[in-house]
Structure 1
Amino acid sequence: MLEGMKVKVGPQFYQYQVGAFEMVPTLLDEYGAKKVLIVHGTISWEKAQPRLNFLQDDRYEFTYHQYTGECSYYGADLIGEIVKKEQIDFVIGVGGGKLTDLVGYAAHKYNVNFGVIPTLSSNCAPWTPLSVMYKESGESEGKSEHFLRQACFFITDPELVIDSPVNYFVAGLADTLAKWYESEAILAQDHLKNEPFLQMAGYTAKLCEEAITRDSAKAIQDMKNQELSDEFVRLSEIIFAVAGLVGGLGDKYARNAAAHAMHDAMSKYIPECHRYLHGEKVAYGIFYQLAIEEKWDVIDQLMPFYQELNLPMSLHQMGIYPEDEAVIDQLVEFIDSKEKVHLIPLPITKEMLKTSIEKLENYIN
């Protein structure tokens, strides 16, 4: 029996199908919502708004707030001010990962129910009860806020999701692929492998890996052609929903490890990396974790997939390798400070973490 294990499976209600937005009023009524705050972005909001017929329902009083573009403590407090001033009893976030993270954290902080309407499939942020925090400048705050409250609903329509940038979808595939490579070695340990919820987390992570490596090329092409194929719908659902189950079922043992720690370190200490999407940085992080584990054969197996999706494999390839060695030391210090990295069943040291960066650069380049 694992002490302190926290299972937070997912939103109270989930639906992903054409016409799903018709369900929103029923759910608002379930929670007794009357004064609803809609938090939204810009371009995604322009595409989503015409599909949201419930906004014309005069049973609800809607207030609208365009977020700053970052999931920040400042942005959460802006939402909190509106919640208090307008006596909001429900918040709906319409947008991408940073927006749904922001709404989740603000709802937790200001004690209000919330739902999410994701407009793209780029990560599992809409599903998970945690928010990755940034400064308004885009710099990572270096931590996530993990909270107990989950969304009352997660509803979206594949006709909306397919009309989003393809590069975000590709980044989402990479971010989701990390679920397997970060958790595989951790969950295989003798003291963990017979825990039922961890077993389910492992099975779910493997399901993600198999579907992504098998169907990504077709799903991406179908998205470019605006064709709602089974492959596109399945993989987009895996990215923003099924992937979230991995950490929900497996807690810290299956949420993330060195790949995401490297992402966070890069976001904090290499400002030039901000031009890359979250999943693109995590894609490099997968190779970094595999280098730590010295699984060079797995890197070899993944290379054709990375090349097909044009995913980054090294810092040099991304054009962001730090010239100052002190920055490398900062990355290593940060990564070493993360408990999740030390869950990997290896004797993790700063020297090992630093050497792995160099080994990977040499191997790829």
Structure 2
Amino acid sequence: MALQLVSRIAPQEYISEVGAYDRLVSALKSRFINRVLFLHGTKSMAKAAAYLPDLSKQGIKVVDVVFNGECSKNEIQRMIDLIKNEKLDAIIGLGGGKVLDTAKAAGYKAGAVPIILLPTMASNCAAWSCLSVLYKEDGECIGHEIYPTQTSLVLVDPRVILDSPIDYFVAGVADTIAKWYESDLLLQQADRKSLALFFSREAARQCLEIPLKHAEKAIQDMKDGRLTDDWTQVMETNIMASGLVAGFGDEYGRATAAHAVHDALTIRQETHHLLHGIKVSYGVMVELVIEKKYEEMKRLLPFYRALNLPVTLGDLSLGDLTNDEIREIAVAVLKPTSLIHMHPMKCTVDTVYHAIIELEEWANQNAIK
């Protein structure tokens, strides 16, 4: 399978340490940035405010903007207009994945102005990757865009992320393990020898092995408010290792079936309360059924139970779907722009439909309630 391989490996600078935000002023000045758009969520700013420097006191003009809630075309355009109308030098995004994705999209489309990201959660690899996942205003996922420029700077203060909602952290773990399963066959069947693909596969391997070994303890440490090595390793795996898979591997390391299932699930209003990674984790199980990797499903099952990850439609608030409604989801999985078309196995609507039905039966046989 001939796929594109253009490595966009990492942010230009990445700093993860207690007090990381103290570097923000010098980082801006070293980049000759004097006027910034500061995009943030309300809750995220409340968590981070105590650690942030006062940029205005350092002679930096700040246009403060509260995020509207979705990484939508309208929200991105709102940021682009502000950057251009206010003649701003850069955009800072502080918050979760949708805030960061909006900042990346707006920064690039406004003329590739520098992008500085301050993630306040470790729920995905948005702080690391050079792409944005796009949504409609109502929360339906409509695809993603990849950018040819990397983020200028990522600052991670572990204290802020440790104080973030635990369910987002768990969703980040779930999204991270998907990196291994989605890239596995693509990287196995790569038609070229490349050190970049080797690094991509090793990063994907860590996306599975580190969470399986450390995530349960890390989650307990987070509940206890303890900044431990286990927690830090899992947190950085969510952000860094997961981003390195596609960063090195490009199309060989892209999301495939599990994320396609996630995207399709967003057509159902009942799933909108579920976080991205939670829906992806269900997609992993559907993908494993498609690939007939039943032993791997059994290996994952205790981990899913420990983290309360979904295995059945009932776990997604979709337990009452008719067969026709399940087929509608399968049809959405196979839409022309779907990520599932990257999967080496040529899936059809019937493939996905029968996999969902079979997963329900498998769950019943394994006494999953």
Q: TM-score range by the shorter chain?
A: over 0.9
Could you say which residue in structure 1 is the equivalent of 2:252?
253
Answer yes or no: is 1:25 the counterpart of 2:25.
Answer: yes
**Partner of 1:185: helix, strand, or coil?**
helix
Post-superposition offset of 1:338: 4.8
Local SS of the residue matching 2:310: coil
The equivalent residue for 1:89 is 89
Question: Could you tell me whether the CA contact under 8 Å between 1:124 and 1:244 is conserved in 2?
Answer: yes
For 2:327 and 2:114, the matched residues in 1 are separated by 42
Shift of 1:2: 5.8
| Amino acid in structure 2 at the alignment position of 1:40 | H
The corresponding residue for 2:65 is 65
1:164 corresponds to which residue? 164
| 1:235 partner amino acid | V
Alignment partner, residue 299 of structure 1: 297
CA contact (8 A) 2:259 2:339 kept: no
Mapping for residues 128-143 of structure 1, pairs under 5 Å? 128-141=129-142, 143=143
The answer (yes or no) to whether the contact 1:41–1:95 under 8 Å persists in 2 is yes
Q: What is residue 283 of structure 2 aligned with on the other side? A: 285
Amino acid in structure 2 at the alignment position of 1:285: G
Separation of aligned partners in 1, 2:50 and 2:98: 22
Q: Cα deviation per residue 1:45-100 (whole Å; 9 max; x = unaligned)?
A: 11112211142533211110001011111111111221122111111001000100
SS state at 1:183 partner:
helix
Contact 1:316 1:361 in 2 (8 A): no
The alignment yields a C-alpha RMSD, in angstroms, of 1.7
Offset at residue 114 of structure 1 (A): 1.2
Query: Using a 3 Å threshold, how does the CA distance of structure 1 residues 54 and 150 change in structure 2: closer, same or farther?
Result: farther
3-state SS, counterpart of residue 272 of structure 2: helix
Aligned to 2:110: 110
Q: Counterparts of 1:207 and 1:213 in 2: how far apart (Å)?
A: 9
Alpha-carbon distance in 1 for matches of 2:294, 2:38: 47
Which deviations, in whole Å up to 9, do the C-alpha atoms of 1:260-309 show, x marking residues without a partner?
Answer: 00000111x21110111001001101101101001111111111000001
**Matching of residue 76 in structure 1 with residue 76 in structure 2:** yes
- Residues 283 and 311 of structure 1 are in contact (CA less than 8 Å); yes or no, is this contact kept in structure 2? yes
Give the match's secondary structure for 2:55: helix
Counterpart residue identity of residue 115, structure 2 = F
CA distance in 2, matches of 1:47, 1:341: 37
- Once the two structures are superposed, what CA deviation does each residue of 1:121-146 show, in whole Å capped at 9, x if it has no partner? 100011111111112221222x1111
More moved, 25-34 vs 173-182: 25-34
Give per-residue Cα distances to partners, 1:195-232, cap 9 Å, x unaligned.
32111100111012111000011100100111000011
Q: TM-score, normalised by structure 2?
A: 0.94
Match of 2:269 in 1: 271
Residue identity in the other structure for 1:206: R
C-alpha deviation, 1:184, in angstroms: 1.1
**Alignment pair present for 1:123 and 2:124:** yes
CA distance in 2, matches of 1:57, 1:243: 37
Q: Is 1:226–2:230 an aligned residue pair?
A: no
Given that 1:265 and 1:334 are in contact with CA atoms closer than 8 Å, whether structure 2 keeps it comes out as: yes
Residue in structure 2 matched with residue 357 of structure 1 by the alignment: 356
Aligned residue in 1 for 2:326: 328
Partner letter of residue 136 of structure 1?
E
How many Å apart are 1:3 and its aligned residue? 6.4
Matched residues in 2 for 1:327 and 1:130: separation?
A: 31
Paired residues of 1:34 and 1:59 also in contact (CA < 8 A): yes
Q: CA deviation at 1:341?
A: 2.2
2:367 aligned residue:
none
Contact kept? 1:259, 1:282, Cα under 8 Å: yes
> Are residues 227 and 106 of structure 1, via their aligned partners in 2, closer, same or farther at CA, if it must alter by over 3 Å?
same
Aligned length: 362
Task: Sort the Cα spacing of 1:127 and 1:44 in 2 relative to 1 into closer, same or farther, 3 A.
Answer: same
Change in CA separation of 1:30 and 1:282 when aligned onto 2, cut-off 3 Å: same
Deviation readout 1:308-363 (Å, 9 max, x if unpaired): 01111121232214634443333222322356424433342322221111101111
Helix, strand or coil: the match of 1:33? Answer: coil
8 Å CA contact 1:261–1:338 kept in 2: the answer is: no
Contact 1:252 1:340 in 2 (8 A): no
User: Tell me, which stretches of 5 or more residues in structure 2 are unaligned?
Assistant: 365-369
Q: Say whether residues 1:315 and 2:316 are aligned partners.
A: no
Q: Give CA-to-partner distance per residue, 1:92-125, whole Å, 9 cap, x none.
A: 0010001000100111111122110001110001
Amino acid at match of 1:271: Q
Alignment partners' CA distance in 2, 1:125 and 1:321: 31
SS in 2 for 1:63: strand
Aligned counterpart, 1:7:
7
